[in-house]
Amino acid sequence: MRAMILSLSLLFCVGPVQAGQCGSIVASACERPVDDAPARKILRVKPTVTPFVVGDRFPVETRSLLMDPARYDLAPSDGSWRYYAMAGVVYRVDAASGLVLEVIRTRRTSHLR
Q: What would the CATH number be for the domain defined by 48-113? A: 3.10.450.160
The DSSP code for 37 is: P
For 100-109, write each residue's pLDDT tens digit.
999 988 878 7
Looking at residue 62, what is its pLDDT?
A: 87
Phi, psi of 112 (to 5 degrees): -70, 140
Domain limits of the chain?
48-113
For 17-63, write each residue's pLDDT tens digit.
444 555 656 665 555 555 555 677 776 766 666 788 999 999 998 88
